[in-house]
């Protein structure tokens, strides 16, 4: 129980949790786009589904790597990269098939990107604080 409470005390853990929940919603529940009156979920587009699940998985793993800040920062950078690839994939589908994108999906993607960036900044602040304390010793 002590590990869980120390993990939740960090604000970046909350940001990562928000990112995990948002990407899980995009993966399974939120419609991504509409084509010819048919609603498509991320599950219907294999590439989108795999990318969204990978991003959610990386953010989830980051939640439990709170003692390894450098590794956590690398995983978050990778998750941000995957987030951008998901955005490019949506743009490509939009241009190729002239679909209408779901606003809820776009909002969740932006929300996830902001949460990942804020988590990265929080972890970087922690790492800088630890380095400054080590320098004083």
**Span 26-44, average pLDDT:** 90
pLDDT for residue 45: 87
SS (H, E, C) the chain: CHHHHHHHCCHHHHHHHHHHHHHHHHHHCCEEEEECCEEEEHHHCHHHHHHHHHHHHHHHHHHCCCCCHHHHHHHHHHHHHHHHHHHHHHHHHHHHHCCEECHHHHHHHHHHHHHHHHHHHHHHHHHHHHHHHHHHC
pLDDT for residue 137: 64
Q: Would you place residue 133 in the very low, low, confident or very high pLDDT band (cuts 50, 70, 90)?
A: confident
pLDDT in tens, 47-88: 999 999 999 999 999 999 888 999 999 999 999 999 999 999
pLDDT for residue 9: 65
pLDDT in tens, 121-130: 999 998 888 8
pLDDT in tens, 3-21: 554 455 689 999 999 999 9
pLDDT in tens, 88-116: 999 998 888 888 889 999 999 999 999 99
Global pTM reads 0.87
């Amino acid at each position: 129980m002590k590990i869980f409470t120390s993990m939740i005390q960090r604000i970046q853990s909350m940001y990562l949790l928000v990112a995990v929940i948002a990407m899980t919603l995009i993966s399974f529940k939120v419609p991504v786009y509409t084509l010819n009156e048919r609603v498509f979920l991320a599950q219907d587009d294999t590439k989108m589904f795999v990318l969204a699940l990978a991003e959610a998985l990386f953010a989830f793993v980051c939640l439990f790597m709170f003692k390894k800040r450098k590794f956590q920062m690398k995983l978050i950078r990778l998750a941000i990269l995957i987030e951008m690839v998901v955005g490019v994939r949506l743009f490509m589908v939009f241009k190729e098939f002239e679909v209408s994108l779901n606003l809820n999906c776009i909002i969740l993607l932006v929300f996830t990107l902001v949460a990942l960036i804020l988590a990265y900044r929080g972890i970087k602040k922690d790492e800088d604080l630890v380095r400054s304390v080590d320098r004083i010793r």
